[in-house]
Amino acid sequence: MIANVVSKESRLIVGLMSGTSLDGVDAAVVKVSGKGLETKAELVGFTSTPYDDKLREKLKELCSVEHSDVAKVCGMNFYIAEVFAEAALKAAKEAGLSPDDIDLISSHGQTVWHIPVADAADWSLVRSTLQIGDISVIAKRTGKPVVGDYRTADMAVGGQGAPLVPYADFILFRDEKIGRILQNIGGIGNCTAIPAGGLPEQIIAFDTGPGNMLIDQAVYTLSGGARSYDDGGQWAKEGSVDEGIVAEMMSHPYFAMLPPKTTGREVFGKAYAQLWMERMKEQGRSDADIVATFTAFTAHSIAQSYRDFVLPAAPAREVIVSGGGAHNRTLLAMLAGLLPEQTITTSDALGLSSDAKEAVAFALFANNFLFGLPNNLPSATGAPVPTVMGKLALPG
């Protein structure tokens, strides 16, 4: 089965991505040809399957030491795999394809916990990561081979298991004459700086900090669950930014850490958002002010990361934004104000859907896996060597 897929001139791969924002599953049907750094990708179809509020809140519980337990993790590992399988089949159908047309499925899984640095106080909490959504379940439900569980391989050779998308960013967006920064703004923000004419080992990539995570949590809490995100950044636009609070939030030690570095919901999750919401409420700030301040914090964390760790070594003319944050006009305007020497645009303007980009990346990872080729980028994850990431589940 796999040998037949490898021998084809091009392959139809469904890439599945569900990020730290916990908003749903993105599924991209990608026509992939070639391999390695010479891979070519064409987006054939894309769908996004949102999580309902009940599922989203269950996942938040799993991402919290206080509310999670082994039974919940065990059950959700299989439950959400069914959701992923349905998302893959839906993407094929909406692209006008049958399941028989699909060669392979690639799943990132749903991250519930990430430990990029070992806990010095507990010998058992070694560097590790956990993405749920069992790939055997996806394979059996769809009848297709599935590659998944990528991050663990990078960590096994000494990397932080993230960010992974910079490898695909280099394939899709490198330019001989223009220095670019690819900024994904999902639940967490991460950047990939590609110097003009740069080589893979010259890439600078790391998590810039929270992306939509704090904004979404504030919107959900302050709206009493009626809204899960700030549509277009409209609520933030109505408020005033508390610059003092932003400065305090920017004093978090994560922002002074040298790349490569990663973070997640275990650091900037619900508890962190609640702390600052309560603080601002005590000061009499309005709901709109809170959303505006959290939005400004995300913008400042991105811009400061560039000034500290990117631009001195990799001058860039363009910042290309993807992910859900690409639709937040207030956030993009704040970012443009903080980076007057760079042009802020979205990946849509370069021909690739900002919503689909990360799902496309996982299709490329699976393609390399088929050929036994490395699909991590050591300069991004801190791994000492390139390695082949992924595990295979067969449908038969």
User: pLDDT digit of tens for each residue in the chain (396 aa)?
Assistant: 799 999 999 999 999 999 888 889 999 999 999 999 999 999 999 999 999 999 999 999 999 888 899 999 999 999 999 999 999 999 999 999 999 999 999 999 999 999 999 999 999 999 999 999 999 999 999 999 999 999 999 999 999 999 999 999 999 999 999 999 999 999 999 999 999 999 999 999 999 999 999 999 999 999 999 999 999 999 999 999 999 999 999 999 999 999 999 999 989 999 999 999 999 999 999 999 999 999 999 999 999 999 999 999 999 999 999 999 999 999 999 999 999 999 999 999 999 999 999 999 999 999 999 999 999 999 999 999 999 999 999 998
23 is in an annotated binding site: yes
Give the up-direction half-sphere exposure of residue 258: CA atoms within 13 A in the CB hemisphere.
2
At 298 the pLDDT is 98
Name the helix (H) or strand (E) containing 133: none
At 396 the pLDDT is 87
222 is in an annotated binding site: no
Q: 87: closest CA among 35, 15, 192?
A: 15
108 CB contacts (<8 Å, ≥6 apart)? 16, 17, 18, 19, 131, 148, 150, 358, 362
Q: 365: closest CA among 26, 142, 104, 158?
A: 104
Give the Cα-Cα-Cα angle 80, 81, 85 (nearest 5 degrees): 120
Q: How far apart are CA 254 and CA 207, in angstroms?
A: 10
Six-digit token string for 372: 């036994």
21 is in an annotated binding site: yes
152 is in an annotated binding site: no
Q: Does domain 167-350 have CATH number 3.40.50.800?
A: no
Domain boundaries, the chain: 2-164+356-393, 167-350
337 is in an annotated binding site: no
22 is in an annotated binding site: yes
Q: Does domain 2-164+356-393 have CATH number 3.30.420.40?
A: yes
At 19 the pLDDT is 84
89 is in an annotated binding site: no
At 159 the pLDDT is 96
382 is in an annotated binding site: no
> Do the domains spanning 2-164+356-393 and 167-350 agree at the CATH topology level?
yes
